[in-house]
Amino acid sequence: MAQEPRVSPDPPPRVILGVCGGIAAYKAVEVCRRLVDAGAHVVPVLTAEATRFVGALTFSALASEPVQTSLWDEASPIPHTRLGQSADLIVVAPATAHFMARYRAGLADDLLMATLLATRAPVLLCPAMHTEMWEHPSVQENLATLEGRGVEVVRPETGRLAGGDSGEGRLADPATIAERALAMVGHRRSIALDLSDRRVVVSAGGTREAIDPVRFLTNRSSGKQGHAIAEAAARRGAHVTLVTSSGLALSEDVRSSVSRIAVESAADMEAAMAVACAGADVVVMAAAVADFRPKAIADRKLSKDEGLPELVLEPTPDILVGLVSRRPPGQVVVGFAAETNDVLERGRKKLARKGVNLLVVNDVSAPGAGFDHDTNAVHILGADGSVTEVPLTSKDAVANAVLDSVIAHQREKWSTT
């Protein structure tokens, strides 16, 4: 009989509630109350303008900690860093037009702005303003830019506005905002350990193919998506091996749960993956392996004074095809495809050609997606013809979507083991 998935025992999610100076600031009190009632640890951060609309004492009475309003009025010399690093989520409600312009520009002229720049936590913006302001091209451009950076948005509603007008721009209902915020932290904090005792191998990063002792061929892959998958698998209870060419650090909470193997070239990665994958339940080949390498590597630095050297390239081994050909029964193999055109068509062809169970394909030319971003947008293609679209979101969220697809693919098999 299959066991019920265990749930990781974590402390309450820590939510920074930023409040800007708009008439809708009074509704943020209700957002605060709902988050606290749901078990979140809420830290209110008010701008100076917000205190013109609502009293700081009200939030201090309802929240988990007293209101903070300034970079300079507490004992900590760097309050923005402490707040940003400790946050599981930052909610800004209401987010004014002025705030969004400053956030897009990366200003850090008050505590809320500095905290937003000092965090890696997801951010949820809840705009509120008059219809004319909301529809202004500059406001919409600022919002689109922020969404492209991975910021989540609860868009305003249509209804009665300040001054007796009616139209789009009214702050979303506090219940809607709280529900969205709780869903975001819930995915991070109440994670079912549905990969307990499973062995997961993940590759990450772009390989380096030496030309001489100084120079090499490589690509733009940062390794962020592969590292996010390794961390997500560890948080879901898996024994994870990460084969990576990237120097990215793993998050402290999973560092002890991930065995890390550093590689550089395609040949290094091929050898390491062959050993690591032998007894794995899941293999995720997220690395961007170079397609070609120099046929001969110079034993000394090549000098341009000696003239242009002849660089003869040869194909690198297709690591993914090799892994599929040797996979043991029941192992699920996930491939990745970075494309710039005809994304789904090329992805489906690669899925069939490689023989993988799942293929994650993305358009790396799309804004906010692909190499070196903290966000991504992908389609997860299944060998059974299934297609799962994951719109632009954080690479952590994409990682969990990939693992959700793996579990769905293996549900029947794993339910009997």
Same domain, 123 and 258: no
Nearest to 259 by CA among 238, 284, 281, 286: 238
Q: What's the CATH number where 327 sits?
A: 3.40.50.10300
- In a domain, residue 1? The reply is no
User: Does the structure show a pLDDT above 70 at 3?
Assistant: no
Give the DSSP per-residue string, 234-303: HHTT-EEEEEES--PPPPTTTGGGEEEEE--SHHHHHHHHHHHTTT-SEEEE--B--SEEESS--SS---
Q: What is the pLDDT of residue 74?
A: 61
User: How many domains, the chain?
Assistant: 2
- In a domain, residue 217? The reply is yes
Residue 396 pLDDT class (50, 70, 90 cuts): confident
- In a domain, residue 8? The reply is no
For 195-219, write each residue's pLDDT tens digit: 988 999 999 999 999 999 999 998 8
Please give the structure tokens belonging to residue 314.
């040869």
**Residues above pLDDT 70, as percent of the chain:** 94
User: Of 169, 189, 209, which residue constitutes the final position of a domain?
Assistant: 189
For 311-345, write each residue's pLDDT tens digit: 889 999 999 999 999 999 999 999 999 888 898 99
- The better pLDDT of the pair 279, 75 is held by 279
Same domain, 159 and 238: no
Same domain, 161 and 220: no
Q: What is the pLDDT of residue 379?
A: 94
Same domain, 34 and 163: yes
Same domain, 47 and 183: yes
For 90-131, write each residue's pLDDT tens digit: 999 999 999 999 999 999 999 999 999 999 999 999 999 999
* Cα(204)–Cα(181) distance, integer angstroms: 30
User: Of 145, 163, 189, which residue constitutes the final position of a domain?
Assistant: 189
Domain that holds residue 136: 14-189
Same domain, 210 and 289: yes
Same domain, 293 and 250: yes
User: Does the structure show a pLDDT above 60 at 187?
Assistant: no
Q: What is the pLDDT of residue 272?
A: 97
- In a domain, residue 390? The reply is yes
Same domain, 100 and 78: yes
Same domain, 158 and 304: no
Same domain, 177 and 210: no
Q: Which of 174-183, 247-256, 396-405 has the lowest mean pLDDT?
A: 247-256
For 341-390, write each residue's pLDDT tens digit: 898 999 999 999 999 999 999 988 888 787 777 788 899 999 999 999 98
**Given the residues 219, 362, 376, 400, the one annotated as active site:** 219
User: Of 165, 189, 213, which residue constitutes the final position of a domain?
Assistant: 189
Model confidence pTM above 0.75: no
332-339 and 282-285 strand pairing:
parallel
The stretch 246-274 carries a mean pLDDT of 91
Q: What's the CATH number where 43 sits?
A: 3.40.50.1950
Same domain, 145 and 259: no
Residue 67 pLDDT class (50, 70, 90 cuts): very high
- In a domain, residue 9? The reply is no
- In a domain, residue 4? The reply is no
Q: What is the pLDDT of residue 124?
A: 96
For 230-239, write each residue's pLDDT tens digit: 999 998 899 9
User: Does the structure show a pLDDT above 60 at 186?
Assistant: yes
Is 219 considered catalytic here? yes
Q: What is the pLDDT of residue 6?
A: 45
Q: What is the pLDDT of residue 320?
A: 96
3-state helix, strand, coil in the chain (%, to 5): 35, 25, 40
Please give the structure tokens belonging to residue 313.
């390239």
Cβ 269 vs Cβ 293: under 8 Å:
no
- In a domain, residue 82? The reply is yes
Q: What is the pLDDT of residue 394?
A: 76
Same domain, 241 and 289: yes
